[in-house]
Amino acid sequence: MARTIDQQIADTQAKLARLKTRQKASDTRRKIIVGAIVTTEALKDPKISKWLASTLRKHATRDVDQKEIAGLLADLDAKAGEA
């Protein structure tokens, strides 16, 4: 028996939702990888450390975010102070 147009639309919408979920997961993984690499390099290089600390202070404006990165900022500041 042939599927109705409504069934075809529902199937297509479900497929689109699954694809969007996969795309979001991929984006999240990419951000985690890039963040880990940048953080690791910043903790090795005072110049990168200074840039990252400044960038984080500028863009992480929510209190909850600032509390989460407070320790990292202290480490970055210490490394930037070596320059």
CA distance 46 to 16: 45
**Per-residue confidence (pLDDT) for residue 11, from 0 to 100:** 97
Q: Please, what's the b/e burial string for 17-36 (b: 16 or more CB within 10 A of its CB; e: otherwise)?
A: eeeeeeeeeeeeeeeeeeee
**Per-residue confidence (pLDDT) for residue 2, from 0 to 100:** 84
pTM: 0.79
How confident is the model over 48-53, as a mean pLDDT?
A: 97
